[in-house]
Amino acid sequence: MNTIPDEILNCLCTNQRFLILLHQKPDGDAIGSAVALGKGLKQLNKTVDYYIDLPLEDKLEFFDEIQYFNQVLQDDYDVIIYLDCSSSSFAFSPAEMPAAKIRLVIDHHKSNAHYGDLNFVEITGATAEIVFRVLRGLNVVFDEEMADAIFTGITTDTGSFQFSNVTVDTHLIASELYAIKTNYAHLSKRLHTQKNINQMKMTGAAIHSLEILDSMPIAMMILDHETIVKFGGTINITDDVANLGQNTIGVAITALLKEIDPGEYRVSLRAKYPYDIHEIALKYGGGGHERAAGFNFCGDVGELKRDLMEVCANQNGEA
């Protein structure tokens, strides 16, 4: 396993008052990293505050440490830790940012802008992997909640060890977690497979609408307004619904059209390499990445389908 730079360990050892910030809508990696790092620093008799965007997804709300989130905010800190935030604008920051001697960035995003006074950025499967190594470097003893927190970060950001960001270290760290606590099956189920009945029904409705357009490898799914209302609103459209089309053999691009209000759509696009759906999202005033992008849409759904077919055809060099 790679080691941690001395200056990072020194910064954490020699300072006393820490504030942890995460990105907006914190995911499993952000929350898991915050819980483990916060508890680890407290074990070393540091004071730790958290400023974190709430509420969390139900599935992440099981950590005891969450009771300490957003309880106090001092005027100044020794160190503000930007955790799992690729840029400072991506972080969920207080309206009045406290003063700090040092801004420390700990992150695993390739796109990280190194905006801190100290930056520890490595391209790992999850920020939680880096936090684990940092805490080992500080000789912190892991309790079961901290092991759960690191596991949560790793398993959510690697798609249960399935994504291309998994490395030798990812599994080495997981093996160390199993030495702390022997069974993560219940946690895995909570994070990856459990849905409430309305989320399940929303998934079924999306698959029911799944249509592969002509002979092109483009899939379309539509959740109309009536369906969304029937199953409890957009909060019940889970992240994986947009991926269902992508899990269909032969599909390269998927558009999930969510009719948020009557006639108004939020469109989630997903693409496989080498397809690039960023440009179509831009064309419709949206944004995102090459393989995952989105936009809002009011208009002729038939026109949208034709546009998507055109993008796909162009990328095949057929048009």
Binding site residues, a second copy, CB under 8 A: 155, 159-164, 166-172, 174-176, 178-179, 182-185, 188-189, 192-197, 200-201, 203-208, 210, 212, 243-244, 247-250
Provide, rounded to whole angstroms, the least separation between the CB of residue 209 and a second copy: 8
In our burial notation (b when 16+ CB lie closer than 10 A, e otherwise), range 189-224 reads eebeeeeeeebebbbebbeebbeebeebbbbbbbbe
**85 or 205, CB closer to a second copy?**
205
Closest alpha carbon to 191 in 64, 63, 59, 32: 59
Helices 144-157 and 127-137: angle between axes, nearest 10 degrees = 150
Min dist. Cβ of residue 63 to a second copy (A):
19
CA-to-CA distance for 156 and 257, rounded, in angstroms? 25
Query: In this complex, which beta carbon is closest to a second copy, that of residue 62 or of residue 161?
Result: 161
For residue 277 the two structure tokens come to 């759906």
* Smallest distance from a second copy to CB 198, Å: 10
Pick the closer one to a second copy by CB: 119 or 243: 243
**Going along 27-184, which residue ranges are E strands?**
47-51, 76-83, 99-107, 118-121
**Alpha-carbon gap, residue 10 to 127, rounded angstroms:** 19
Distance in Å, CB of 81 to a second copy, minimum = 28
Residue 295 Cβ, how far from a second copy at the closest point, in Å? 25
**Residue 122: CB minimum distance to a second copy, A:** 16
Residue number with CB closer to a second copy (203 or 268): 203
In this complex, which beta carbon is closest to a second copy, that of residue 16 or of residue 196? 196
Shorter beta-carbon distance to a second copy: residue 179 or 313: 179
Distance CA 62, CA 41 (A): 20
Look at strands 211-212 and 218-223 and give their pairing: antiparallel
Based on its alpha-carbon atoms, the radius of gyration of the chain, rounded to whole angstroms, reads 21
* SS3 state of residue 215: coil
